[in-house]
Structure 1
Amino acid sequence: MSSLTPDPSVSASAPVPARHPRLDPLADRYAARTHGMKSSEIRALFSVVSRPEVVSLAGGMPAVTALPLDAVGSMIGELVSGMGAQTLQYGSGQGDPRLRERICDVMALEGITDASPSEVVVTVGSQQGLDLVTRVFVDPGDVILAEAPSYVGALGVFQAAQARVQHVLMDDDGLVPEALEDALIECRARGDKVKFLYTIPNFHNPAGITLTEERRAKVMEIADRYDLLVVEDNPYGLLGFDREPMKALRARDAERVIYLGSFSKTFSPGLRVGWVLAPLAVREKLVLATEAQVLCPPSLTQYAVARYLDTQPWQQQIKTFIELYRERRDATLDSLTALMPPGTSWTRPDGGFYVWLKLPAGLDAKRMQPRAVSAHVAYVPGIGFYADGQGTEYMRLSYCYPEPDQIREGVRRLARVVEAELDLHSTFDTVDTGRFRAVRPATPQVPVVEPITGPASSDTVGDQP
């Protein structure tokens, strides 16, 4: 795989100007923080991926049909009929005490054995947790360090907070410690105030890679030396295909790491239950921010998750998810290997939901997207995962939701779109496509060669060139 980051340097793009008053009569009244708001690349695809003829390799939707839905439905019905006075009432801003106890049990699987329920704040998904942490720590103009690429939802939170994002280089082993230290030195030289490092160490969204054990130690050593706060976002950590869960960064430093967790990937995204594990002083601020924002997280969904953890074989269910996602990952990688033209590269995740694909030189995933949709396949362009306009040559492919046969068909369609783009560029002589379907005009120096047709031209996955 080639480098994940075309250019690891700075920072967020300029704010988008306010709409003209004739188009929006309230345009001159909006807060400055709204001027840069825009729909994410994923949300913009929702109307497309819902069409039955489109194979969606875009959204990271868990395979909830693999849950024992009858048992879950009965469990929730019994909750309401037996505990309706509690489950349908207001609750604590910090979250249900029983659920916080069970959350500590879940985190212990990743080596966090010293967590106390008093340090846990239940949130409406880990997305709210990230928003709360950002509200508590970040002022306009502050710098947040984030991997390149980074989670699109996090970039939206940081943009809304008017923070500046400085990306840090990644490679196949995850965040590059030397690049992190270089970024810290650059920020200090400019006089920037760095508030925290935001990182997804396990089965990264969107890159699909995992921070190695050796690098985890180096990142935490750098964080300690530069007095850097680390925000560890870990929704996929229990979904490794070939090994036991890796030790969380929070397990290495209880004071320097704020941990974000979620039940969206291991139980149900529709319940919107996540959490933040933070030192007690930070927890107090988070609870106050929660009460100002939503008063309290929904009681019914908290009780449902707690009851699920108490009564259902949830660890066995996670193993079921792992087997299902491993099969779909394999279908994705096998199809990419068989069908994608030369010059295309991709990551090989050993857990989680995503493959990060780099197009042949000169192709632009965002510009290619309408042609892909016309071919009835959807992906997320890479530009949405950078704060500074990078990533045009990348795309995120999600294998968690479609069945393996759908994945194979989706990759076949996508490969033909990429091939057509290469043909177009070859025709206009704008990129060097190598020998793959490239026909250049004859010159005294360069004779005409016969085009070579790759396997993406095949009508079925099994066809050979």
Structure 2
Amino acid sequence: MSESNNVSELQGGLTASGAVNTEISEHHRPDSKATEQRAATESKVISSDPWYDSYAARADNMRASEIRALFSVASRPDVVSLAGGMPYLEYMPFRELSELIGKMLVDKGDVAWQYGSAQGDPHLREDVLQIMALEGIKDVQPDDVVISNGSQNAIDLITRIMCDPGDVVIAEEPNYVGALGVFQSFQVDVVNAQTDEDGLIPESFEENIKAQLSAGKKVKFLYTVPNFHNPAGVTMSVERRPRILEIARKYHVLVVEDNPYGLLGFDGQTYPALRSMDAENVVYLSSFSKIIAPGMRIAWIVAPPGIRKKLVLANEASILCPPNMSQMTISTYLDNFDWKQQIAQYRVMYKERCDAMDAALHEYLPYCSWNKPKGGFYIWLKIPEGLNSKEMMPRAITAKVAYVAGTGFYLDGSGTHHMRLSFCYPTPDQIALGIQRLAGVMNNELKTAELFGTTKSVSDR
């Protein structure tokens, strides 16, 4: 596929998900031209999809991820991808691990390739206890754990059992794109609470609860990524955590703590999990995707007893059981390798890459602003007024650099003045090259905006 075709594909992938709804909404306009446009659009859709009128109402809320739409072009070897949050796995001991997996298959292949429990493999549920203990969660037994097919499945399960259409979930602004997809599919109203460099602002959290209750809405839970937030990169301060939990208890709002990055703090610090402070009102989610292997699609959930029982039933109804092969592969790794030392190496590597991106941003894009994260995978970059990160993306791909536009992390089209940059996968040299290319694109965009008087000149900045 040629470069021009790839750019066209990117543009189509990022806009197609909203095109039908935009046209159909014009049905409400009184003029006949809008009605004709709607009819023409529906005719095209129905001719390509004979089941158009048969879908459930919730299917209208489903949309393509802007990150997924990038993959076809961002995966090209000539493009420096600062888009995907893919862990760098070349440090994993694959040769030694493959021998142990082979032995596991010889000894327990009939179990690994068989159906399992909807709650998950007992051995793995015991293994995860030592991981959570690093974050202060020490009052959990294997029976308190539910294994899921990645954190995405875990978010789906908790939303499935807690939310009816029209219920409210409060989430940190900007939102994790995967969670937004789940909330949309269940027709949940997402209300954004504000964040700053210390994470979720307690006052904003409480004000949003009050406003929704006053409007007669049911606030079912807070969805939070407290450590090295995706995409914002911020971390909820230790001082704020008890206050957030206090507010949640006051209004009987469940806290869903999504923590895939908690062990990836650059200075080695591991923050106390919200679940370690409140066992009755927090559902804790974590995953092996960022610290070991995303391809295994294995995560876990810890929840109060009543919620846990519902989660097991929902897991059984959704996937029947998590895959034994993936679970036993993870346990084989945990039982035979120094995984703590492996994670320590990852911390050093990701810090080096974060420092490389921070230095490149200072050198090439000093007129932008960002908060340097203390861990995780992402920098949330604010770009100058007058620029639009989504509209600029095709030009960036042409310049052989990819990022994720900020609009992907909002439901209302906000985020045009932000972009998410991932430093986890490319090398430091690739990161510097990618930022240099991005700066070239942005400088050209600014010069164009200057001609129309919509922004300050580059020299003024």
The TM-score normalised by the length of structure 1 is 0.89
Identify the range of structure 1 (22-31 vs 313-322) with the bigger mean alpha-carbon deviation. 22-31
Give the match's secondary structure for 1:65.
coil
Q: Does 1:381 align with 2:434?
A: no
Report the equivalent of 2:27.
none
Report the equivalent of 1:143.
168
Shift of the alpha carbon at 1:14?
12
**Contact persistence 2:446–2:458 (CA under 8 A):** no
**Contact persistence 1:361–1:433 (CA under 8 A):** no
Residue-by-residue CA offset, 1:326-364 (whole Å, 9 max, x unaligned): 11001000000111042x101200100000000011211
Give the match's secondary structure for 1:92.
coil
- Cα separation, 1, equivalents of 2:325 and 2:213: 46
AA aligned to 1:408 is A
Q: 1:286 aligns with which of 291, 308, 311?
A: 311
Report the equivalent of 1:69.
94
Alignment of 1:285-304 (within 5 A): 285-304=310-329
Give the match's secondary structure for 1:356.
strand
Identity in percent: 53
Residue-by-residue CA offset, 1:134-184 (whole Å, 9 max, x unaligned): 101011011100000011000000000000100000111100101001101
- Cα separation, 1, equivalents of 2:102 and 2:271: 36
Residue-by-residue CA offset, 1:396-421 (whole Å, 9 max, x unaligned): 00000001100000000001111111
**Contact persistence 1:233–1:259 (CA under 8 A):** yes
Give the match's secondary structure for 2:90.
helix
Q: Does 1:35 align with 2:67?
A: no
Shift of the alpha carbon at 1:113?
0.5
Alignment of 1:23-172 (within 5 A): 23-172=48-197
Report the equivalent of 2:338.
313
Shift of the alpha carbon at 1:432?
2.7
Report the equivalent of 1:369.
393
AA aligned to 1:82 is D
Residue-by-residue CA offset, 1:414-437 (whole Å, 9 max, x unaligned): 011111110000011122346348
- Cα separation, 1, equivalents of 2:80 and 2:459: 29
Give the match's secondary structure for 1:94.
coil
Report the equivalent of 1:7.
none
Shift of the alpha carbon at 1:82?
1.8
Alignment RMSD = 1.5
Report the equivalent of 1:248.
273
- Cα separation, 1, equivalents of 2:390 and 2:294: 28
Residue-by-residue CA offset, 1:273-305 (whole Å, 9 max, x unaligned): 101111121111111111111110000110111
Give the match's secondary structure for 1:21.
helix
Shift of the alpha carbon at 1:71?
1.6
Q: Alpha carbons of 1:291 and 1:350: their partners in 2 closer, same or farther (altered >3 Å)?
A: same
Give the match's secondary structure for 2:291.
coil
Report the equivalent of 2:352.
327
Shift of the alpha carbon at 1:23?
2.9
**Contact persistence 1:15–1:36 (CA under 8 A):** no
Give the match's secondary structure for 2:187.
coil
Report the equivalent of 1:267.
292
- Cα separation, 2, equivalents of 1:110 and 1:357: 29
Shift of the alpha carbon at 1:76?
1.6
**Number of equivalences:** 424
**Contact persistence 2:447–2:458 (CA under 8 A):** no
- Cα separation, 1, equivalents of 2:119 and 2:51: 36
Shift of the alpha carbon at 1:15?
9.6
Give the match's secondary structure for 1:22.
helix
Q: Which runs of 5+ in 1 are unaligned?
A: 1-12, 438-465
Q: 2:422 aligns with which of 398, 408, 419?
A: 398
Q: 1:347 aligns with which of 371, 374, 383?
A: 371
**Contact persistence 2:268–2:344 (CA under 8 A):** no
- Cα separation, 1, equivalents of 2:413 and 2:453: 25
Q: Does 1:419 align with 2:443?
A: yes
Give the match's secondary structure for 1:64.
coil
Give the match's secondary structure for 1:141.
coil
The runs of 4+ residues in structure 1 deviating greater than 4 Å are none
Q: Alpha carbons of 1:213 and 1:15: their partners in 2 closer, same or farther (altered >3 Å)?
A: farther
- Cα separation, 1, equivalents of 2:256 and 2:411: 18
AA aligned to 2:454 is T
Give the match's secondary structure for 2:192.
strand
Q: Which runs of 5+ in 2 are unaligned?
A: 1-17, 25-40
- Cα separation, 2, equivalents of 1:88 and 1:320: 32
- Cα separation, 1, equivalents of 2:293 and 2:460: 44
- Cα separation, 2, equivalents of 1:275 and 1:379: 29
